[in-house]
Each structure stands twice: as structure tokens, then as C-alpha cells.
A and B are shown apart, each in its own frame.
Chain A
Amino acid sequence: MRFETAGGPHIPAPITVHQVMRDVLLALVPGILAHLWFFGPGILFQLALAIGAALGFEALMLKLRGARLDLHLHDLTAPVTGALYALCLPPLMPWWAAIIGMFFAIVIAKHLYGGLGNNLFNPAMVGFVVVIVAFPNISTTWVPAQSLAENPLNLIDSFKVIFFGTLPDGLTWDAITGATPLDLIRTRISEGIMLTEIRTDEIFGKYGGKGFEWVSIGYLVGGLYLLYRKVITWHVPVAMLGTVAVLTLPAYAMDPYNNPFPLQHILTGGMVLGAFFIATDPVSGSTTPRGRLIFGLGVAILTLSIRRWGAYPDGVAFSVLLMNCAVPLIDRYTKPRVFGRE
């Protein structure tokens, strides 16, 4: 009788990449629901567009590279890239933004660097950065939760806006779009207006932007689920959000009129999404426990710097990409102590 002789362990690993990525997609659901509630059905089109484009480009590139389509399309990494990208965009972004973003994310950032597991940079963030650098006004054309409450756009309206750029009768772009809270803070503070006064604007909620804070809390819930499922470790979120709190609290205490409350920093922009879903990307992140702490710390400091002094209202995407560059160096100097060694 002959037996199979593959090496051990002889019982296979119980988890797969597919399951890990499914967990990530699942963890995005609370955030997406909050998004849907506050910013209308646009996000559904953005998700569909980005995931569709991601899968399309993934299939194309796999075919060009002669790899197995079934294997790699099944691993769900492309849909995760697409979903994270879509969640960074304003919900009424025109349809071609998803195509351009995903082209850069999947084709350039992922496959030209060697495909799954080999990309140096977070693909979703590469796509997003390309789009906001190329079309800088998109960050000011968000749809504020408050204006939507007055002029709700239904599914069909959103579809028309995204695909044809036509607005429902009686509405103007100005009526339904506006600056994001972070953008508003930037411009107003530079005009010398006190933060307390800025915050009286109706686009602000209790801590962050109206709606945005709930979306962030949704991501937080999803992030805790990922921690529970051991898909991510605590290092990056704790380091990132902890650094934000530690750095912004003294600033707020010293000058509350010009420096936002820490929770405002955390609950606006992409901070929570970044902390749990983006900076925790295994492929482009650090691979040592201490390295992940440094990675999170770096992303937080860079993000705060960009928010405070940079040309863009939010900086999570830039910060993540910058820290991606530093990963080989971080990994090199943060090797953990081996058991039984000094």
C-alpha cells in the first residue's frame, strides 16, 4: 500500500486568505450602513464600481501574467482593495473615478510589483492618492449629511448623478455638495477664525463631522470584530489612535480655540478606517510587532502634520504610503528577540 508523503503538518491550516478577506469585507458592513444612512445610496454605486473594476483589472492582469484566474479571483483581495478605495471617495463621485483609481491600484501598485503579497504600497491608497492629486477638488465636493437631509437623493437620482452627471430638477451642485469638516477647519483656521466658531457650522456633529463620526464608529465596530477574529493585531490601531490622542490632547489643552479636541481628530476623515483597515494591510505594512507600533505611530504623526500644515485636508492616504516606504527599514531594526537569545 502506498501513501501520500507531503511534508508536515499533516492536518491543513484551518483558515484561508479567502476567509480572512471575507472577514475584512464583513467588518466594513457597519461603516457602510452608517455611510448609507447619512450620505445616501451613492456609496453603493461607488462600491459596485470599484469592486467591479478591481476584479476586472485583476482578471486582466492575471491573464496577462499567465496566472490562475480561479485561484486569485477567489482570494477576495481585489474586492477588499476596491471596497476600501470606494469608502474613501465622495459618494457622488463620477463613475470614471473608480476606473482610474482601480487601474492604478490593481494594475500599477499591485501587479506591476509582482502581484499578491509583493506590492510595496497599499493599492487602495495608491489609487486614491492618484485620484485626489489629479482631481484635487473632489475633497471639497463631498455631500454633507445635513444638506442631504434637506434634499435627499434616492437610488435613481444618485445613479444619474454618478453616471450622467445630471442632477434632479431644482437642485444645483452647490446645494448638495460642500466641503468636508476637515477642509472647512483648514480654510477657516487659516482665515484666523476660532475653532469654537468654526464648529458651530451645521456640518459638524458632536465630536467629528455630522455623519462622519457615526461612519467612523461603524468602522470602529468592524475593527473590533477584526481584532476579535484575529485578522489584525492591536498594534497598529492602538499605536495610531493612541498617538493621535497623546499628541492632540496637550495641544487642545493649551489652545482649545485653534486645536481640535482629540476625538474630533479621530472621528473625522479617514483616521479610524485607516487605523483598522488600511494601515493594518499586511502586505504593505511592517511584519514585526514593534515595527507595527512604529508604523502606526508614523502614520499618525504624518497624518496630523498633513492636517495641520499640509496642502490637503486629510493625510491618512499619504501617510500610509510614506510609511510603506519605510517598512523594510523598520522591519530590519525591529526584529523580535528570538527565544533563548539575549
Chain B
Amino acid sequence: MSGILAFGVLALVLGLVLGLLAQRLRGGDEDQEVVDQIDQLLPQTQCGQCGYPGCRPYAEAIAAGEADINRCPPGGEAGVRALADLLAVEPKPLDPDCGEPAPPMVAVIDETICIGCRLCIQACPVDAILGAPKRMHTVIEAECTGCELCVEPCPVDCISMVEPTPNPQTWRYRKDRLKVRVENRTTA
């Protein structure tokens, strides 16, 4: 009898403590912080492949529980894992509806075809295209996120996506070779 009582009291006290802690740790003010943290993990291509008009809105949707974490192809599987890690949920494969993950690209305007219509400039989410009406436009490679949003509006089809110029800062040492080794390791 006394045992039941003791454990009952214990359960009550511990439950209370846990409940209070949960309250404290899940403060209402931190919603914004969660959105920021999610936004930090998104690649900021602003490409809209997730179905939201940019990375921040997608982050807000994830934080609000409205969107899944697997809707960002530029972030790749690694991005999904990072999000899963942050939100303490199971990672899942990328949603194929949103598109395939692809290596980062940059847009290039064929300046001999460009008619200077400004449609691409209006489409670019990061103002990476330079130009004036009736003058040919050009893409600032360093600013381009590779979102491809400019490709479709172009009436003369003069924008193509190409691999960025390699530079020593983003070059990865023998990644291809070592990756093979890492994979071998998991099966060997």
C-alpha cells in the first residue's frame, strides 16, 4: 500500500516537473528563432522549387509544420539531414515532385541573342542580372544562385545554365576518389 502511494506521489511530482520544464523550454518567443535556424540551413537559391516564393517563406512553413523538410532539391540529401537533425525528426528522401538535386549551376546570357527585354531581370530573386531596356543583359556570376528562374521568361531563349568557373576556394580535393573509398568501407 505504502509502495503504491510512494510511487504515485513520485509519478505526480516527476510529471509536474517534466510538464513545467516542457513549458519553459518551448517558449512562444522562440518561433522566430526556429525560422532563422531553418533558414540558415537552406541554400538561399530562392528558386521556389519547394513551392514557396523563397527560402524564408519555406522556412516559415516548416516551422509552422505546414511543409515537409524534403522539398529543397538544391539543399540535397545533406540539407534534408541537417534539417532533420535540427528539428529532431527522421530524415526522408527528397520529394521528387520538387525536382531532382543537381550540381550547382550559374546562368549565362548569350549576349548576341539578348534583346534587352528586362524580363529576366524582373525574375531574378537576387538581382544578379545587369542590364537596361533595349540593352543586352549580363549575369554577375558571383551573385547568381543558379535558381533557373530567369530561364523561362526569356522570350528569345538566350539564357542557359552552365557549370560555374572552378575556383580554388570551392574546389574539393579528390572528392570523387575518396567517396568511393568511403562507400567501399561501409560494405567491406
Q: Mark B146-188, 1 if CB is under 8 A from A, else 0.
A: 0000000000000000000000000001100000000000011
A65 touches B187 (CB 8 A): yes
CA distance A67 to B183 in the complex (A): 12
Name the residue of chain A whose CB is nearest to the CB of B184: A67
The answer to whether the Cβ of A68 comes within 8 Å of any Cβ in the partner chain is: yes
The answer to whether the Cβ of A66 comes within 8 Å of any Cβ in the partner chain is: yes
Of the candidates B174, B187, B188, the one having the most CB atoms from chain A within 10 angstroms of its own CB is B188
Residues of B within 8 A of A72 (CB): 188
CA distance A67 to B173 in the complex (A): 27
CA distance A68 to B188 in the complex (A): 7
A67 touches B187 (CB 8 A): yes
Please report whether the interface of chain A is mostly helix, strand, loop or mixed according to DSSP. Answer: loop
Residues of A within 8 A of B174 (CB): 7
Please report whether the interface of chain B is mostly helix, strand, loop or mixed according to DSSP. Answer: loop
Residues of B within 8 A of A115 (CB): 188
Residues of B within 8 A of A68 (CB): 188
Q: Mark B10-28, 1 if CB is under 8 A from A, else 0.
A: 0000000000000000000
CA distance A115 to B188 in the complex (A): 8
CA distance A72 to B187 in the complex (A): 13
CA distance A65 to B188 in the complex (A): 7
Q: Mark A45-89, 1 if CB is under 8 A from B, else 0.
A: 000000000000000000001111000100000000000000000
CA distance A66 to B188 in the complex (A): 7
Minimum Cβ distance to chain A for residue B178 (Å): 9
Name the residue of chain B whose CB is nearest to the CB of A114: B186
Residues of A within 8 A of B173 (CB): 7
Residues of A within 8 A of B188 (CB): 65, 67-68, 72, 115
Name the residue of chain A whose CB is nearest to the CB of B188: A67
Minimum Cβ distance to chain A for residue B173 (Å): 8
Residues of A within 8 A of B187 (CB): 65-67
Q: Mark A232-267, 1 if CB is under 8 A from B, else 0.
A: 000000000000000000000000000000000000
CA distance A65 to B184 in the complex (A): 12
Minimum Cβ distance to chain A for residue B77 (Å): 22
CA distance A165 to B157 in the complex (A): 88
Minimum Cβ distance to chain A for residue B8 (Å): 35
CA distance A7 to B181 in the complex (A): 14
Residues of B within 8 A of A65 (CB): 187-188
Residues of B within 8 A of A66 (CB): 187
CA distance A291 to B188 in the complex (A): 28
CA distance A158 to B173 in the complex (A): 60
CA distance A72 to B184 in the complex (A): 14
Q: Name 10 interchain pairs, CB-CB below 8 A, sorted by A.
A: A7-B173, A7-B174, A65-B187, A65-B188, A66-B187, A67-B187, A67-B188, A68-B188, A72-B188, A115-B188
Nearest first, the 7 A-B pairs at minimum CB distance are A67-B188, A66-B187, A7-B174, A67-B187, A115-B188, A65-B187, A68-B188
Which residues of B approach A to under 8 Å, CB–CB?
Answer: 173-174, 187-188
Q: With A65-B187, A68-B188, A72-B188 given, can you name 7 additional A-B contacts, CB distance below 8 Å?
A: A7-B173, A7-B174, A65-B188, A66-B187, A67-B187, A67-B188, A115-B188
Which residues of A approach B to under 8 Å, CB–CB?
Answer: 7, 65-68, 72, 115
